[in-house]
Chain A
Amino acid sequence: MRHAWQLPVKSDVGIFLALVVLSVSIMAVDRLDEDSSLTGRLAAVFVPFESLSFRLMELSFVQKENHILRAKLMDVSRENAVLREEMGEAERLRGLVDFRTSHPGTLCCARVIGEPGERMGGGIVIDKGRAEGLAKNMTVISPDGLVGRIIKVGEGASQVKRIIDPGYRVSALIQRNRATGILGTRSDGRIVMEWVAPDADVVAGDVVTSSGLGSITPKGIPVGKVGRIKEKPERFSLALEVRPFTDFSRLEEVFVILREPPDFQLLLEAEEEAKVEN
């Protein structure tokens, strides 16, 4: 049985010859036409097919390129995160170096290495201890302000009670008008300055610093800013809520002021001796 395409022999030779003549004509025109305008005209007809085949060719390359670019993007994102982290650290360390330079010989830089939790006494643990000359009750600060004081000293680490830890107390004053008071931390973490004279001229935003009374915390260390102000008629004083300057949620490095707080017992004995001598 003959297929629809399969024509009688004579016809197929005829078709073949016709196609050959057509092909030779194309070749002749192409040879005569130096500018190859024939090819150009044919190309215009096949542009859609050409673009389709070109797209097919491109598809696999684009896919491969896409994979490579995705991988590169992931690398760059990772690298970016690392660089951001390093940039932040560099900025912090630059601040610390500046701070350290302005207090030569009196500060010891330490890194925060833990937060022991309430059961273990709260506060933070730093990576410096007795070996570096640290002692109990030494004041711990950050470039922003007061952090707290050392409550336990080990050979290579120390525990620091922060001003946001409940029960922390330090005498303080309002920088603008020198009004004094006692700064204490409540169980909910709020820092409140009490025993401030009720007639003291205090406004929200006033800077609170350590007063130096009590001899444990040196005078003039910034603590925070006054927030809400409450009057406490029953105690004849104002209660000022203080917002600390130090951001405790991002505390990574601190300074310990290398100055032994005075031993009151020795001071009393010295006074006694002086009296006896007189």
Chain B
Amino acid sequence: MRRFSLWLLVVLALIFQVTIFRKIELWGMRPDATVIILVYMGLGLGSVAGALFGFLLGLANLAILSTSMASMPLAGTVVGFVVGRYATKVMYESYLVQLVIIFVSVLVFDAVNLAWADLSGLPVSLLRYSLGSAVYTSVAGVTLAIVIERIIGLRLVSQR
């Protein structure tokens, strides 16, 4: 049942990415569905699934979006693996913790990509572009999780 809810999250996140997230753009920033999916896949299925999903989603991003960088698969792999391996050790059932995990994941994801693009400008770029995006993505991600768990009634992540 949890695997179903995770797939539902993937589908919903992708649908939201091309519909609602495009419309609720704030100051040029949009929530990043890729990171939301990676975080919940990592939390729900563990480090291997997280890493594999991260790699594949990065590859898909690279292929679909011409603006994407070649570092996308690496960024996805790192985020998926780290979340699956280490974030599962904290009380991630709490929405607040999930919010922090997504926030940090966006920063890591962006850091890998920005470093690949221009290592010297990494701190400035992180502050300038990633910080707002991280806040926005984490709020959107947790909202999506609440929708699935509280409204639809499916368990998304469980520590038991």
Chain A residues engaging chain B, CB cutoff 8 angstroms: 3, 5-7, 11-12, 15-16, 19-20, 22-24, 26-27, 29-31, 38-39, 42-43, 45-46, 49-50, 53, 56-57, 60
Contacts and interface: CB of A to CB of B under 8 A. Distances in A.
Nearest to B160: A1
Contacts, number: 89
A20 B74 contact: yes
Given A6-B48, A16-B81, A27-B71, A39 B66 contact: yes
B64 A46 contact: yes
B51 A24 contact: no
Nearest to A56: B18
B47, B48, B58, B74 pick with most chain A CB within 10 angstroms: B48
B13 interface: no
Nearest to B78: A20
B53 to A, nearest CB: 10
B10 to A, nearest CB: 13
The range of chain B's interface size is 20 to 34
Interface of B: 14-15, 18-19, 22, 45-49, 51-52, 54-55, 58-60, 62-64, 66, 70-71, 73-74, 77-78, 81, 84-85, 116
Contacts of A39: 62-63, 66, 70
Given A31-B70, A45-B63, A49-B64, A23 B45 contact: no
Nearest to B65: A50
A29 to B, nearest CB: 8
Contact of B85 (A12, A27, A42, A57): A12
Contacts of B48: 5-7, 11-12, 15-16
Closest 4 CB pairs of A and B: A30-B70, A23-B74, A46-B63, A6-B46
B64 A50 contact: yes
